[in-house]
Amino acid sequence: MLGERLGPDNRIADPQIVGSWRRCLEQYRLDPGHAHPRPRLSAAELKALREPLDELLNQPVPALTRLRRSAFEAGYNLLLTDAQGVVVASYQDADASPELARKGMAPGSVWTEALVGTNGLGTCLATGQPITVYAGEHFDAGLHPFSCSTAPLFAGDGSLLGAIDISTYAQGSKVRQQLALGLVQQTADELEALLFRRHHADALLVAVSARGPVAEPTALLALDEGGRVRGLTTALLRLLSFHQRGSLLGMPVSELLGVGIEPLLASRPESPCPLGLCHWQAWRLAPAFRAIPAVNTSREPDPLAQAAGEDPGLLRQAAICRRMVDKGISILIQGETGTGKEVWARALHNSSARRDKPFVTLNCAAIPESLIESELFGYGAGSFTGALRGGKVGKIAASSGGTLFLDEIGDMPLALQTRLLRVLAEQEVTPVGELRPVPVELNVICATHRELTGLVAEGRFREDLYYRISALKVALPPLRERQDRRALIRRLLAELADGTVPSLGAEVEQRLLGYAWPGNIRQLKSVLQYALAMADEETIGPEHLPDEVTGPGLAPSREEEARPPLAAVREQQERQLLLDTLEQHQWIITRTAEALGISRATLHRKINRHGLVSPNKGGR
């Protein structure tokens, strides 16, 4: 059979593939004429298998996020398996055919070579080598329409952890697909480097590069105090042309790299090692060593860039904010409800030199006027009835040195505006009922959905405070005006999906792009959550969307004024009923939903649609 496939046109010439076909025929005794069942594990079984990969799956990892994004944009599906070839996470392209998912590219499906025959995942894991399996190179004829590129993923201690794979329809040539293999290999190297740094957190780490210093070094060496090799990454093994790490462990670094630990320690970060240079030139490499701190230095994504997404206007504002953030310039964020004002404020804080200090929020619209004062300024022991016996630290003092985010500043009562202005000028706060002021280092970021200049003109907002808090104004556009809506929808869908990311049907995407989103990103998130919960299939169809998006129920906000008065009255009544019932049940969603006779999901949707805000923000 193998002889037939090799044929005159050399269809299977790649020695890795030939080796795999031999194993399939001779060792596993598979028959290429038969479809091979791909078993699927239950969710409970899968949970245990995911554990070794939790470090990569339970938190955003920049290298994986980048690959997910590139794969999405290029129409590939991305799979992550454990070392046994069981898919533990799958991220599917919104446009790719659901056929890919039907072929077993979903969490729980098993892809070992012994079961499925030659395939990217199984063969990569069988050999521990990266591989592209293209079209007819698959052993199972059912997989011939596809092409996949897979790289093995190694843990910090060098053991095989699993594999990363990107797959798509086979088109063009195998050479094109091999470009994708480079991308997958790079990601696997970066993930391994991350795990390696964590695993060897107490060792001296040395980055080796053939091209001089690189931004994200992946060829890493861990040394013990005596300068012996404790571990090395697969990227370094490749660079040194070694296949096995076992024989190198314990070896003095001078033997491996031709440079002892003292010169390495003495070499300034990023300076080339003079001894190594001679040695490496003999290998036709121009190395650069740098001792790097043995801590996790992987750069987190830029928080402002994350918040701006791909909208050109927001990216411009992010660039301006970055320049201002540590210059003591006050920033006012304006935008409709749910446009991400708090997200932006947090991004500002996280981009600032104060990022390790507290970020404290106060929503001036969400708490009764009478409480804002004590919340903000705190109070001394026994200062009024109902006060805590020991007094309470106010939000201003709690945020000292960090950032105080004052949301809905337009709702701050006039008397408190005066006091706030004084604290900003004098940098000291006097708690309610106390005489002595306490010094604070107050930095505020304010936000509002109102037009503050209008409030100033009406005498409801102090003009001097307005200028004091708004040296730089950031205007967040409503979702319907963001130019990166499509990308944002896809990103949120991928973030909210637990594992497999279903695709959006063309009609659904059009509806989401055309909808007016009165509740902006907050509403979009709850609509996507709803759709994900409703859709069991690989594709989200119009039937999985809530009525507010599909039905005539709620007209787009731009047409709001044109809505018939009866509908507007009904909306108002519903809003009031919701508010009353929520308050009656202390914003406990389960109880409120029960009292209203609706599901929790519907209640959440209605809360979002009406833009209702719980006093403690938790009930949103």
Specify the residue, 64 or 256, whose C-beta has the smaller distance to ligand ATP: 64
Specify the residue, 525 or 575, whose C-beta has the smaller distance to ligand ATP: 525
Of 218, 339, 399, 503, the one binding ligand ATP (CB under 6 A) is 339
Binding segment for ligand ATP among 89-97, 336-344, 415-423, 454-462 (CB under 6 A)?
A: 336-344
309: contact with ligand ATP by CB under 6 A: yes
342: contact with ligand ATP by CB under 6 A: yes
Specify the residue, 525 or 591, whose C-beta has the smaller distance to ligand ATP: 525
479: contact with ligand ATP by CB under 6 A: no
521: contact with ligand ATP by CB under 6 A: yes
Give how many residues touch ligand ATP by CB under 6 A: 16
Of 116, 180, 291, 307, the one binding ligand ATP (CB under 6 A) is 307
As given in the structure block, the two tokens for residue 400 are 């000292």
Residues 132, 250: Cα–Cα separation, whole Å: 34
66: contact with ligand ATP by CB under 6 A: no
Rg (CA), the chain: 30
Q: Compute the half-sphere exposure of residue 597: CA atoms within 13 Å on the CB side of its CA.
A: 1
335: contact with ligand ATP by CB under 6 A: yes
Binding mask 137-176 for ligand ATP (x = CB under 6 A): ----------------------------------------
Residues 83, 122: Cα–Cα separation, whole Å: 10
Binding segment for ligand ATP among 23-31, 96-104, 335-343, 506-514 (CB under 6 A)?
A: 335-343
* Cβ pair 548, 511 in contact under 8 A: no
* Cβ pair 438, 300 in contact under 8 A: no
337: contact with ligand ATP by CB under 6 A: yes
* CA distances for 454 relative to 415, 451, 462, 478, 537, angstroms: 19, 6, 11, 20, 50
CB atoms within 10 A of CB 20: 26
Residues 247, 379: Cα–Cα separation, whole Å: 67
Of 138, 522, 544, 606, the one binding ligand ATP (CB under 6 A) is 522
Q: How far is the CB of 521 from ligand ATP (least distance, A)?
A: 4
* Cβ pair 127, 34 in contact under 8 A: no
Q: How far is the CB of 339 from ligand ATP (least distance, A)?
A: 5
Which residues from 385-424 bind ligand ATP, rule CB under 6 A? 407
Binding segment for ligand ATP among 107-115, 217-225, 270-278, 341-349 (CB under 6 A)?
A: 341-349
525: contact with ligand ATP by CB under 6 A: yes
Query: Do the strands 359-363 and 472-475 form a parallel or antiparallel pair, or are they unpaired?
Result: unpaired
As given in the structure block, the two tokens for residue 208 are 């080796």
Using Cβ positions, the residue closest to ligand ATP within the complex turns out to be 340
CB atoms within 10 A of CB 441: 11
Q: Which DSSP letter does residue 110 get?
A: B
Residues 575, 20: Cα–Cα separation, whole Å: 64
As given in the structure block, the two tokens for residue 336 are 């409709």
Q: How far is the CB of 355 from ligand ATP (least distance, A)?
A: 18
Binding segment for ligand ATP among 220-228, 295-303, 339-347, 384-392 (CB under 6 A)?
A: 339-347
Give the residue among 618, 588, 615 at the shortest CA–CA distance from 369: 615
285: contact with ligand ATP by CB under 6 A: no
Residues 417, 437: Cα–Cα separation, whole Å: 18
* Cβ pair 498, 454 in contact under 8 A: no
Of 130, 276, 340, 410, the one binding ligand ATP (CB under 6 A) is 340
Interface with ligand ATP by CB under 6 A: which residues? 307, 309, 335, 337-343, 407, 449, 492, 521-522, 525
